[in-house]
Chain A
Amino acid sequence: MIEFALSALIGLFFAVSIYLILSKAIIRMLLGITILGNGVNLLIFTLGRITREVPPIVPDGLLQPATTTANPLPQALILTAIVIGFALFTFLLVLGYRAYQELDADNTDNMRLAEPENAPRPPLSY
């Protein structure tokens, strides 16, 4: 069954993307997030069951599809997900780029503006 093969591939998508996201380099994290998005889309697609080569389109003149078609619901969900994933990708890219410009760092170890290494301790007084 194709679903089993796809499941294995999706596992690989998850493994690779998680490994990339755990990196300290912003750009590798970005690649990881993009791949994770693809993996999740494929996961939804596969779990909606696979039907080969029959798109969910009603032929002209008919009121209902003549044969079994691919499951349309996951496709609609994924279409939305792809577009939103792309918006997220561009935003993160620009954010990473600006962070690189401002902080001169693409390594999260050097991005300590919000959580500085020696943050002030809370005052022990009233």
Chain B
Amino acid sequence: MLSDLDISICLIAIAPFIAAIFAPVVQRFCAGMTGWVLSVVPLSIFVFLTSFIPEIAGGGFVYAGFDWVASYGLRFSFFIDGLSLTFGLLISGIGTFIVLYSGAYLEGHHHQGRFFAFILMFMGSMLGLVFADNMITLFAFWELTSITSFLLIGFDNVREASRRAAIQALVITGGGGLAMLAGLIMLQQLSGQWNISGLFQYAGVIAEQELYLPILLLILAGAFTKSAQFPFHFWLPNAMEAPTPVSAFLHSATMVKAGVYLLARFNPILGGTVEWGVILSIFGGVTLLWGATMALKQTDLKQMLAQTTVASLGLLVMLLGIGNEAAIIAVVLYLVAHACYKGAMFMVAGSVDHATGTREITALGGLGRIMPFTLAAAIIGVAGMAGAPLTVAFFAKEEMYAALLHDGLSGLLAQPQDLLAIAVILVGNALMMGVGLAILIKVFFGTLKPTPVQPHEGSLSLWAGALVLGVLAVFTGVAIGWTEQYLITPVASPIHNLLVNGQLYLDLTLFTKPQFYVSVLTWVLGVVVFWQIDEIRTRLRAFSRVLNWSFDALFDWLMFGLVRLSDALTRFWHHGRLELYLLVVFVGFAAAVIIPLVWENALPPMPELTALPFYEWSILLIAAIGLVAVLIARTRLVAIVSLGIQGFAVALIFLLFGAPDLSFTQFMVETLSVIILALVMTRLHLDQRDSRIFQDVFRDGGLAVICGVGVTVLMLAVLQNPLDMRLSDLFAATSVPLAHGHNIVNVILVDYRGLDTLGEISVVMTAGIAILALIRIRGGGPQTGAGAKKPDSRGNRTEKAA
């Protein structure tokens, strides 16, 4: 039975889909107010989720769901713990602002209703993903996020760049999802558990299995493609073709975090091994540096933010790879910090674009005086990017450095890999900070530059979301004690599978810790990067011109290669020459007849030819003559007559061997066939001769002989075995007593197999209708004789059944 709680928890994921169905209708009636109306859906989910906070913060879990495919043990099931609740709150909270923002951003767009539907569907998929307990439920929602993301990226479907980005995202994330499915199924085969919550009891056991490495690699493939890890990172910057609300929601705050969520979720099950640590740290580190460097190369605001998002995702993956308590705390803090400030920064970028008509950083300047609220949101956002004190991002950075400084400075120097890691994180953070500063200062300060649109401050819904998210990022930083109780411990504990106690305080002890000085170093380096950003950009661009290669080009090459391959395959098999298709069919026929006979060593012995009555011999001979005559006939009339000869010979064979019904029908059909054929053929000006060249005659003739001999040998082999006569005996025995008919064949047709006969009549009728249609189309004229055939074939039928 479903309890109310089950239903309401399932509704968290399902309600947005229901809302999506009605979104276009709402849009039609509410027009400008649609965003406000529809934002009620994510807002109510958010409020509902907050009601779980006390229980979850106290270390509890909530399970819900119902049977899906009970025979396979599949449930449509969900569970709420600190990790999923935090994600759920982020998704529904940011989602509320995004829906509001979209209402203003896309105001007047002729497909705005469709856009709302897509974004709500995405939200439902994402909520389902993070709350899913059953792994198949997880996979279903995982792929739904890929599909809805495809729809959103390709929203502006008239532009090719948009379509390409959408396909790219779908191919990469969808492909990764399939790999993940394989990994999940292997995990289930290993443990017998479909539920993630049930897998926690196997923590540490899975890692000792032989299948551990394949499972790990497959699940990582899913997480890395979704979270844009190097070398699958390139779809994310391209996905910025989507409208800005999408970039803010999917490609910074939520969907790309799904991979990180997956890694965090599976950390207790698969993590803690050397493989896990090495793979995650290396891929994460490379992604961090690559993304941060690429961000410096860009001048488009959204592209800069997208590349820093790639870098941030790399940082998160790297921290999960390091995996000690401080690193996990850093993951949780950075996750929340990044979702808030990056979401805010994307909304800022969108507002700037909306207000000025450009996103080129070189064309912008001095907007601070005109857009004060946006400026305020931007300042807080960049403070987050820089990890400035008082923001939650500051603590995130402190913790990530602390994760590597656990043995103090001397311990660090003794561990080269830790030293390398801390250098990577430091440089990555500094580069991202430089980019953030560039966005803030170049866009909002300095002299006002002329832009395509006269700049103006956007409406409330354009800046409110960014500002609230920014304030939230600061609040969680200032009230770090509260954050620890309600965020860090409940979230980090399920990731780490142990009770986590952060011991974070905002007081003077900060200055005594070594990580604080690494943070200071980061800020110094960040300012230097900002100072030199134009120079760095010029150098990077020159370098990439020399390199003249990109992952995008590789992707295109692969996709077009696939198209070319399928084209070549199609042309090879689907060449349009009918006789070759048929040749393949008959080669297959010959193989199917002969190979099993030889393989099973079932070749029959040579039969003894016994004397037959002369009239039987002569009938067989007539049939053979008729066949050969059809083959070698010089004129079509001879061919038709010869066809009649073999047909009548068959009828005579039926007559001789106790089948008068067949014989009559066969006579009738052959007569009609010959007459109709003669009528039609005289109207055609056909080639008299078979026009096959010698090689074709040899090839076709050879194949025909092989098939013919094969059939004969097969028949001889079958005739060696006794025939099962039970059915025939049954019919013979019951024909009179049960069906009151003396002609057993007719009784079978109309009684025992009556339905079959009905089908037969339907075939004849369909053929008649088809013939009529063929003749009527473009008036070929029913006088060809074809129209007269339909009643004839029916006439046949009635005689037989009588």
Residues of A bordering B, CB below 8 Å: 1-16, 18-25, 27-28, 31, 34-35, 38-39, 41-43, 45-60, 62-65, 69-73, 75-76, 78-80, 82-91, 93-95, 97-98, 100-102, 106-109, 111-112, 114-117, 121-122, 124-126
Contacts and interface: CB of A to CB of B under 8 A. Distances in A.
Contacts of B620: 5-6, 9
Of all A-B residue pairs in the complex, the 9 with the closest CB atoms, nearest first, are A15-B708, A70-B658, A11-B712, A115-B576, A87-B767, A19-B704, A126-B164, A76-B748, A11-B708
Contact of A46 (B578, B646, B715, B749): B715
B578 to A, nearest CB: 4
A27 B760 contact: no
B566 A91 contact: no
A87 B793 contact: yes
A54 B586 contact: no
A58 B731 contact: no
Contacts of B577: 108-109
Interface stretch (B126-134, B326-334, B721-729): B721-729
B623 interface: yes
B616 A2 contact: yes
Given A24-B691, A112-B576, A122 B708 contact: no
B771 A94 contact: yes
Contacts of A85: 669
Chain A interface mostly:
helix
Given A20-B631, A35-B646, A108-B579, A86 B669 contact: yes
Contacts of B712: 7-8, 10-11
Interface stretch (B50-58, B472-480, B659-667): B659-667
A71 B784 contact: no
Contact of A58 (B643, B687, B744): B744
Nearest to B797: A83
Interface residues of B, number: 116
Contacts of B707: 14-15, 18
B767 A91 contact: yes
Interface in B35-78: none
A114 B576 CA distance: 8
Given A10-B712, A25-B691, 12 more contacts: A5-B612, A10-B715, A11-B708, A18-B708, A23-B692, A25-B686, A47-B719, A73-B727, A90-B676, A94-B775, A102-B778, A121-B567
19 contacts: A3-B715, A5-B616, A12-B627, A19-B704, A22-B700, A34-B673, A41-B662, A43-B711, A64-B732, A70-B659, A86-B669, A87-B793, A97-B684, A106-B686, A106-B687, A108-B577, A112-B576, A126-B163, A126-B167
B646 to A, nearest CB: 7
Contacts of A51: 657-658
Given A31-B639, A41-B650, A80-B757, A94 B700 contact: no
Contacts of B442: none
Nearest to B696: A22
Contacts of B578: 24, 108, 111
A25 B719 contact: no
A89 B673 contact: yes
Interface string B288-328: 00000000000000000000000000000000000000000
B732 A11 contact: no
B711 A10 contact: yes
B600 interface: no
B664 to A, nearest CB: 10
Contacts of B30: none
A27 B786 contact: no
Nearest to A4: B607
Given A19-B631, A126-B163, A64 B736 contact: yes
Interface centre among B574, B646, B666 (most CB of A within 10 A): B646
A72 B728 contact: yes
Given A11-B708, A72-B732, A83-B793, A55 B800 contact: no
Interface string B207-251: 000000000000000000000000000000000000000000000
Contacts of B680: 93, 97
Contacts of B757: 80
A23 B160 contact: no
A86 to B, nearest CB: 5
B619 to A, nearest CB: 9
Contacts of B768: 87
Contact of B705 (A15, A69, A78): A15
A56 B658 contact: yes
A48 B789 CA distance: 31
B602 interface: no
A28 B728 contact: no
A13 B744 CA distance: 29
